[in-house]
């Protein structure tokens, strides 16, 4: 295995651990509530606290650590994550559990941003899309395997067991990073440089595209299980199998989008958003018949995470000389989009419009598609050589 492949594998494994932690709590809320003597609604605040830590804390940590050597920073952020996981596993009260989740979340966006930027630095410029997709695949595997296995462990051995295992896996990832990551000096950019770049017009538009476009997926996917059981009349077992197929499709879609991004960033990002708009718009009609419902779920899986590589590629295209904060904020934008989409979907479900979450998601994806034409208005700019900043009146 080459040094670049080993580095990508180590970063991917680390992202898998972080990604598993993000959604783990949702699967073990009853156990947490019963043990710590809080309602499930209160226990759910552990999910909210983590999300807020990612959105608000991640960029702050990124700015404060912008002058540190990259390898040492990656290891330090994962050790911070391990500390949060250990604190969660040992928490004697719900307040301490919240503290542990916040500590872990502070490293989430900063580490993912660092991992994505480091990934692009260990491969040739024409393979940056594939490198981003490889690292991001850690999240899709976490959703496919890590979260359900963690929930099963929590049901069988108590809610603390998954956090204990996560702590051990994080320390193993730290050892792997220490072994294979190349040493990289601290970037010459200052926090002021990072702030200047992230406030450029095209960078802000790219971040908005991520938040708006990805929220379209969340409107539907958050409520995909009741949609398939109540409208399509699938059994619970069949829904579980479909969600497994969705996860497998997400992995394949993410990797394919990485390779396509290497060939044409603009065509990939527009093709993905165009495809999502069509699938989401058709969802109310597709779920009325089980065979088309299966096809719709598989298509949604293929396209949902196919947004990651081109959207992060957009950020790197416009924030090339000081990318860390911009990528960190964009990671938060994915989380913000997921939260906003879930809230909108919840409002539709409350209004007895479960079947019609798809068109609402389609409008958001279509808005994301429209925004890409503001960011990449000319083919020449869109297809500039990798690593070349696009001139902008805002920058």
Q: Where are the domains of the chain?
A: 3-187, 192-382
Tokens of 381: 């700019």
Q: Domain 3-187 falls in which CATH fold? A: Growth Hormone; Chain: A; (1.20.1250)
CATH topology of domain 192-382: Growth Hormone; Chain: A; (1.20.1250)
Give phi and psi for 374, each to the nearest 5: -80, -35
Cβ neighbors of 253 (< 8 A, separation 6 or more) are 301, 302, 303, 304, 305, 306
Positive/negative CA dihedral, 299, 269, 281, 358? positive
Q: Quick check: 392 pLDDT over 70?
A: no
Q: What angle do CA 141, 146, 151 make, to 5 degrees?
A: 150
Neighbours of 177 (CB within 10 A): 21
DSSP per residue, 231-294: IS---HHHHHHHHHHHHHHHHHHHHHHHHHHHH-HHHHHHHHHHHHHHHHHHHHHHTTSHHHHH
- Structure-token pair, residue 274: 């165009």
Residues 129 and 310: their CA atoms lie apart, in Å, by 7
| Nearest-angstrom CA–CA distance, 152 and 196 | 45
pLDDT, residue 378, reads 56
Which position has the higher pLDDT, 272 or 148?
A: 272
Q: Which residue has the tokens 């990124």?
A: 62
Position 389 pLDDT exceeds 50 = no
Structure tokens that stand for 71 in this block: 């390898």
Same fold for the pair 3-187 and 192-382:
yes
Nearest Cα to Cα of residue 49 among 95, 1, 111: 95
What is the per-residue pLDDT for 261? 94
pLDDT in tens, 237-265: 898 889 888 888 999 999 999 999 999 99
Lowest mean per-residue pLDDT among 35-39, 76-80, 159-163, 238-242: 238-242
Cα dihedral 339, 341, 344, 346 sign? negative
At a CB cut-off of 8 Å and minimum separation 6, what does 157 contact? Answer: none
Tell me the pLDDT tens digit for each residue of 202-229. Answer: 999 999 999 999 999 999 988 888 899 9
| Burial of residue 380 (number of CB atoms within 10 Å: 0-12, 13-18, 19+) | exposed
Grade residue 379 by pLDDT with cuts at 50, 70 and 90: low
């Amino acid at each position: 295995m080459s040094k670049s492949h080993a580095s990508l594998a180590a970063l991917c494994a680390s992202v898998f651990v972080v990604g598993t932690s993000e959604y783990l709590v949702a699967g073990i809320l009853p156990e947490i509530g019963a043990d710590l003597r809080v309602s499930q609604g209160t226990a759910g605040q552990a999910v909210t606290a983590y999300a807020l830590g990612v959105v608000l804390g991640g960029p702050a940590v990124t700015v404060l650590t912008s002058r540190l050597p990259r390898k040492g920073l990656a290891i330090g952020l994962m050790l911070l994550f391990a500390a949060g996981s250990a604190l969660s596993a040992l928490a004697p009260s719900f307040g301490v559990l919240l503290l542990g989740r916040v500590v872990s979340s502070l490293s989430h966006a900063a580490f993912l941003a660092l991992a994505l930027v480091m990934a692009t630095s260990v491969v040739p410029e024409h393979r940056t899309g594939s490198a981003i997709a490889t690292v991001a695949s850690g999240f899709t595997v976490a959703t496919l395997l890590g979260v359900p296995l963690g929930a099963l462990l929590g049901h069988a051995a108590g809610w603390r067991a998954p956090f204990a295992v996560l702590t051990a896996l994080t320390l193993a990832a730290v050892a792997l990073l220490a072994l294979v990551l190349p040493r990289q000096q601290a970037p010459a950019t200052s926090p002021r440089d990072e702030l200047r770049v992230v406030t450029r017009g095209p960078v802000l538009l790219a971040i908005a595209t991520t938040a708006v476009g990805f929220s379209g997926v969340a409107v539907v996917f958050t409520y995909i299980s009741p949609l398939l059981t109540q409208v399509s009349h699938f059994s619970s077992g069949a829904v579980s199998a479909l969600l497994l197929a969705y996860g497998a499709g997400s992995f394949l879609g993410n990797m394919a989008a990485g390779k396509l991004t290497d060939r044409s960033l603009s065509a990939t990002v527009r093709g993905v958003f165009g495809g999502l708009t069509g699938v989401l718009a058709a969802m109310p009609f597709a779920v009325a018949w089980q065979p088309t419902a299966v096809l719709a779920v598989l298509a949604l899986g293929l396209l949902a995470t196919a947004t990651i590589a081109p959207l992060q590629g957009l950020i790197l295209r416009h924030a090339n000389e000081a990318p860390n904060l911009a990528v960190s904020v964009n990671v938060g934008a994915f989380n913000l989009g997921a939260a906003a989409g879930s809230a909108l979907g919840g409002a539709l479900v409350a209004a007895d419009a479960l079947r019609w979450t798809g068109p609402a998601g389609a409008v958001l994806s279509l808005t994301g598609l429209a925004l890409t034409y503001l960011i990449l208005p000319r083919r020449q700019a869109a297809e500039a050589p990798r690593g070349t900043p696009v001139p902008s009146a805002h920058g």
